[in-house]
């Protein structure tokens, strides 16, 4: 796979996941998937993109993306790697 195809996959996935994961996270996942598929007969952009999409979907949302794009009036706190959402009315 050439670098243009690799970059295209990264750009498409960024357009899809930008509200959840920052570009560096997406680029790392795509690169890891590319390395995992290296030497595989199943290689190619389609397989790479599907694998990377699966892994990004399974990944916990990045903290700064959650905070920046959360609904108005929503407070979020990190708890053991997860996120607890507390509305302002409940938070007091």
Task: Please provide the DSSP assignment of 12-26 as one string.
Answer: HHHHHHTTTS-HHHH
Domain shared by 51 and 71, yes or no? no
Instruction: Evaluate whether 43 touches 1 at the Cβ level (below 8 Å).
Output: yes
Domain shared by 4 and 41, yes or no? yes
- Report which DSSP code applies to 18: T
Mean pLDDT of 26-38: 94
Domain shared by 55 and 66, yes or no? no
Question: 16-25, 32-41, 43-52, 83-92: which has the minimum mean pLDDT?
Answer: 83-92
Mean pLDDT of 9-13: 96
Which one has a higher pLDDT value, 4 or 55? 55
Mean pLDDT of 56-83: 56
Q: pLDDT at residue 71 above 80?
A: no
Domain with 38 in it: 1-59
Mean per-residue pLDDT over the chain, rounded: 74
Domain shared by 33 and 8, yes or no? yes
Domain shared by 47 and 90, yes or no? no
Residue 39 has a pLDDT of: 81
Domain shared by 48 and 90, yes or no? no
Mean pLDDT of 59-74: 58
Instruction: Evaluate whether 23 touches 14 at the Cβ level (below 8 Å).
Output: yes
């Amino acid at each position: 796979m050439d670098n243009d195809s690799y970059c295209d996959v990264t750009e498409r996935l960024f357009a899809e996941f930008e509200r959840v994961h920052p570009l560096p996270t997406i680029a790392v996942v795509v690169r890891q998937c590319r390395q995992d598929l290296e030497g595989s007969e199943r290689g190619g952009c389609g397989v790479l993109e599907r694998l990377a999409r699966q892994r990004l979907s399974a990944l916990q949302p990045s903290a700064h993306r959650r905070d920046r794009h959360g609904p108005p009036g929503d407070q979020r706190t990190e708890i053991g790697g997860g996120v607890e959402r507390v509305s302002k009315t409940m938070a007091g």
